[in-house]
Amino acid sequence: MGTTGSAVDSGAIGWGGLGLSLVLVAVAVGLSLWQGLRLEREILWATGRAIVQLLAVGQLLVFLVRPETPVIVAWIWVVAMVLFAAITVQRRAREVPGIVGLAVVATGASAAISMLVVFGLGVYPNVGRAVVPIAGMMVGNSIGGTVVAGRRVVGELSDRRAEIEARLALGQPSSEAAKPYVRSALRTALTSQIETTKAVGLVFMPGAMTGLILAGADPVDAVLVQAALMYLILGCVATNVVVIGLGLTRRLFTRDHRLLRLTRQST
Amino acid sequence: MSVSGATSTPADGPDPALFALEDVRLVLEDRCILDDLSVEIADRGITVLLGASGAGKSMTLRLLNRLEVPTSGVVRFRGDDIASLDPLRLRRRVGMVFQRPAVFPGTVRENLLVAAPDAGESELVACLAAADLDASFLDRLGDELSGGQAQRMCLARTLATEPEVLLMDEPTSALDPHARHRLEETARRLVDDGRPMVWVTHDLDQADRLSDQQVVLVAGRLATGDEARTYLADASSADGDDGERRG
């Protein structure tokens, strides 16, 4: 227990602590074997990949957050994060036409707005040490909402094709004809983040707050930081979801208000 | 009654064509749906589009409402190339009722207001009356209507846009015989009031009851005289074999 106490004091767990956390990976592998899920390889691959990626990113972060590194480098990294996020969205929502371009626009717009609030209003100083992790949280947390929004919009427009074409046949423009169905899809995509925001602190302890407390910060300060981040993430997800909804509505109809044929992919 | 395809002649009479398809080819997802189809549809009465499943009847109807556009060729509405017309205005002039009633969420009133947001109570009641529904339906929920009532509500909703012509895409295929005959009577009344109609069906009995002229399609083309006669004879014999099931 002495080891644990010193880890809490310093915020560092060392390689030994990391090794002990693998016990839970072994539990996951064991459960997969027991239940015949055949996910053992997948779990081990994900575990290995995660530590390699994190170590690589850690090395990069050392460079990005050094005081002597110009802050523009951190902002270039933010742009790269937006592009990586768009590629991730595209991989998870292949059936959504043009999703990579839309995801770049949506994630870029939400990141720009949130960064403007955080750094433009001076909530945090414009230094690499703040820019990189905050942008990472904004962009990373937007991916799930973007994927759900894209898939749900395509699903709704595909499933409700008969109703939408009946509306188009009445002379409604495509934006009007699609509105009830796109709205329903966007509500679904955003509801998940709203629920997460509501449950914070009660059901789960978010990462930034946990990290700060483990690193020895005053819990009240940690809570204030986390609350601000949650609000920013909520705004980001909302921006992403709406941009995806508007963009897909334009993308999935022709200029003469016809609904394109869509491929529905089962989840 | 004239039969295009069976007689190899377009609709006869002095009326200008309501619709004219000129060398229309429609390819969707690498599949040729219509192949150099040229046909004229008379600006009067009920024109029935006949043909087996997959012959291209419904796609032809969708071209007339511009829910599809031809891969090549021209579709004309009263002489105008519909590609040159505003699609939203065209769709209000050329109303369409689909095979399965697409009821929007909410009441019948809310459904009608989608088509005519500024319509007053009397106009809504008139639309219902034209579709053989009384005013009491206005506050009924759309999803509580029977199949026949829902289809007539869809007809009323289409009529709310005051269309010059009605396209009916197998509107009775999901209805029982009583509801089917009632909708046919309604259709005839609307046509007698001066609104021409294009009606898609593969039911020969219905085609004979309804049509003022018939157009027969075979494999995405206007049937030749022999093909149309063969189709009508085959379908008629199938109807005879299948009469009880089809009611």
Q: Is B29 on the interface with A (CB under 8 A)?
A: yes
Which pLDDT value is given to residue A1? Answer: 39
Radius of gyration of chain A (CA): 22
CA distance A67 to A229: 23
User: pLDDT tens for residues A165-200?
Assistant: 999 999 999 999 999 999 999 999 899 888 888 877
The single residue listed with the structure tokens 């990294």 is A77
Nearest CA in chain A to B156: A170
CA neighbor of B72 nearest in space, from B21, B22, B24: B24
Q: Is A262 on the interface with B (CB under 8 A)?
A: no
What is the distance between the alpha carbons of residues A46 and B111, in angstroms, rounded to a whole number? 51
Q: How far is CA B205 from CA A216, B3, B181, B236, B244, in A?
A: 85, 15, 11, 9, 13
Which parts of chain B fold into alpha helices (H)? Answer: 57-64, 87-93, 108-115, 121-130, 147-159, 177-192, 204-210, 225-246
Exposed, middle or buried: residue B67 (CB in 10 Å: 0-12, 13-18, 19+)?
buried
Question: Strand B31-42 vs strand B17-28: parallel, antiparallel, or unpaired?
Answer: antiparallel
What distance in Å separates the CA atoms of residue A106 and residue A88, rounded to the nearest whole number? 13
Q: A166 contacts in B (CB within 8 Å)?
A: 98, 102, 104, 154
Q: Which of A162, A167, A173 is the closest to B114 by Cβ?
A: A167
User: Per-residue confidence of chain B (247 residues) as pLDDT tens digits?
Assistant: 566 654 334 445 455 799 999 999 999 989 999 999 999 999 999 999 998 888 999 999 999 999 999 999 999 999 999 999 999 999 999 999 999 999 999 999 999 999 999 999 999 999 999 999 999 999 999 999 999 999 999 999 999 999 999 999 999 988 889 989 999 999 999 999 999 999 999 888 999 999 999 999 998 999 877 787 888 778 777 655 544 433 3
B95, B165 in Cβ contact below 8 A? yes
In chain B, the residue whose alpha carbon lies closest to the alpha carbon of A262 is B29
Can you give the pLDDT at residue A61? Answer: 84
- Rounded to the nearest angstrom, the minimum Cα separation between A262 and chain B is 11
- What residues of B are in contact with residue A256 (Cβ under 8 Å)? 66, 69, 87
Contact B102 A165 (CB under 8 A): yes
**Chain segment A122-135, per-residue pLDDT in tens:** 888 999 888 998 99
The Cα–Cα gap between A174 and A171 comes to 9
Q: Compare CB distances from A165 to B29, B67, B105 and report the shortest one's residue.
A: B67
Q: Does B69 touch chain A (CB under 8 A)?
A: yes
pLDDT tens column, A149-164? 999 999 999 999 999 9
Count of CB contacts below 8 A, A vs B? 55
Nearest to B75 by CA among B152, B123, B22: B22
Give me the half-sphere count of Cα atoms (radius 13 Å) on the Cβ side of residue A204: 8
pLDDT level of residue A265 (50, 70, 90 thresholds):
low
What is the per-residue pLDDT across A43-73, written as a single tens digit (0 to 9) for each?
Answer: 999 999 999 988 888 888 888 888 888 999 9
Q: What ipTM does the predicted assembly reach? A: 0.89
